[in-house]
Structure 1
């Protein structure tokens, strides 16, 4: 029997997506369900099983020889469990065992969603050709992952590269994680919007108070909106420079909804990066927008499945 495909799951607080993916990263079959994030754990799992049932009913399913999961986190790849902040019904939930049972006992690889997007960007996106990279998702939260020495570096539990919870303001606001002054507390979309509102930004007639609306106002020259993005860019630059100093990355790729703000974010980010990345071995560091879009989680989960099989020598 021909076995040349992998299955992939991208599990977040809004949607559960699944796919069958070829060895070159082409998505051949898709399935998707909304995430019942406020329901109990078994209800969420049923949505995952519905996605898997749709995939397993495809004529291509017999060609799948492994399955990768990119999940909102924290994840614990060593135990096969997940505890997504935005899915309260899953705490230390045995996702790998449950998925393996629903997928006919295929080998399963679990990584965090930030790591999945990193795998996708390194395989086919903005970090392609870079052996040492940080890839970030700047959206409702701030996550990330690392490529070191040309390989995805997940760490023992699958959370390495979680830049959102590096503290860049020692006396800053408390973060829900328990620390203070985290990158996420300053640079995530909701916090960009919160800061703009607190400092007097007035939304438009539609009442939109999202970070995208703040970005739109910044493009028209609104000084408060620009200042909120400037502060986010400074926090991101400090976190990126600290990461580069620690592990010698040469590119930082930024995706997610905030990344779509374009030069409203990237112009001050590059300016601040020059202030923070000052040592000779980090000065060449560049930043770039992500390229993989909404399929990044699925493509990255597929990459993890392929890498896991290769490492196991299957």
Structure 2
């Protein structure tokens, strides 16, 4: 569940997507209209021949979410504030158990089950895109926290007197490292878009690869913020790997090279210094695969491969 699309799939115990459904999110409409689009996705999946074999339902939603209450309040869907999404979905899935997690946690579950963090006992997985989210695997199991938001690295403050963040704090990782903020910072520093007028972080990345000093500096600043957040997480919970996905990760070495270099500046204690940084591998299907993995773990249906 996101601000742009509502996607659903039937996922088997090997992480394969057997059927799909998708609708655009009517993000500016009222809550009932948004729920109507969710219901259409569920109806499309229920019409598939595999639906009778479905044993649990997982939801990965843009946040904030509150799994303890089964509610969601996506910042880019104003019609949903503390919306009882678990209750509404449960009414439509014939008594099957429903598990809710944040979208960053869902991505983490996916990358631990089928992706770059597979086989790792302790991991941080991150989505760096329009925002910055994340989740944790601790002792081989997805660690969601009481509300389903544990590991939300985007709102760790890494610049104590930095710019105000929409969350209400200052100097958050998201305020520095998200795609829109990479582009904003480059533009403010004098970067000029190309003839096509593209002002996105992807365009800044292309300029950086071509050697533009301002574009490179903006990505280096983002990498520094990510490195500080990863190091703080490693110091707290002793992760062994940080997996990074999302659109900004598509910049490749423009992001990963300075990130790995700056991580050495912050992760200096012996138990944190060995953290490996890897790109995510599951791409846009991670949310669907991860919602299934979270549901499987949450209900004990089957052991998620890769967990210890």
Shorter chain as denominator, the TM-score bin is over 0.9
C-alpha RMSD of matched pairs (Å):
1.1
For residue 256 of structure 1, what is the aligned residue in structure 2? 246
Q: CA deviation at 1:309?
A: 1.8
For the 8 Å contact 2:157–2:169, the answer to whether it is kept is yes
Report the 3-state secondary structure (helix = DSSP H, G, I; strand = E; otherwise coil) of the residue aligned with 2:175: helix
Separation in 2, partners of 1:81, 1:92: 5
For the 8 Å contact 2:60–2:288, the answer to whether it is kept is yes
- Give ranges in structure 1 of 5+ residues lacking alignment: 1-10
- How many corresponding residue pairs? 303
For residue 294 of structure 2, what is the aligned residue in structure 1? 304
TM-score by length of 1: 0.95
Separation in 1, partners of 2:129, 2:78: 19
CA deviation string 1:250-300 (max 9, x = no partner): 100000000110000000000000000000001111100000111000000
Separation in 2, partners of 1:282, 1:308: 29
CA deviation string 1:15-67 (max 9, x = no partner): 10011111111100100000111111111100000000001111111110110
Report the 3-state secondary structure (helix = DSSP H, G, I; strand = E; otherwise coil) of the residue aligned with 1:29: strand
For the 8 Å contact 2:296–2:302, the answer to whether it is kept is no
For residue 188 of structure 1, what is the aligned residue in structure 2? 178
Report the 3-state secondary structure (helix = DSSP H, G, I; strand = E; otherwise coil) of the residue aligned with 1:65: coil
Alignment of 1:1-314 (within 5 A): 11-310=1-300
For residue 6 of structure 1, what is the aligned residue in structure 2? none
Q: CA deviation at 1:312?
A: 11
Separation in 2, partners of 1:146, 1:311: 21
Tell which deviates more after alignment, 304-313 or 132-141: 304-313
- Give ranges in structure 2 of 5+ residues lacking alignment: 304-308
Q: CA deviation at 1:86?
A: 1.1
Q: CA deviation at 1:308?
A: 1.7
Separation in 1, partners of 2:287, 2:37: 17
Report the 3-state secondary structure (helix = DSSP H, G, I; strand = E; otherwise coil) of the residue aligned with 1:111: strand
Separation in 2, partners of 1:202, 1:63: 54
For the 8 Å contact 2:245–2:280, the answer to whether it is kept is yes
Separation in 2, partners of 1:147, 1:308: 14
Report the 3-state secondary structure (helix = DSSP H, G, I; strand = E; otherwise coil) of the residue aligned with 2:55: strand
Q: CA deviation at 1:121?
A: 0.1
Instruction: Flag as ranges the 4+ runs of structure 1 deviating above 6 A.
Output: none
Separation in 1, partners of 2:10, 2:297: 16
TM-score by length of 2: 0.97
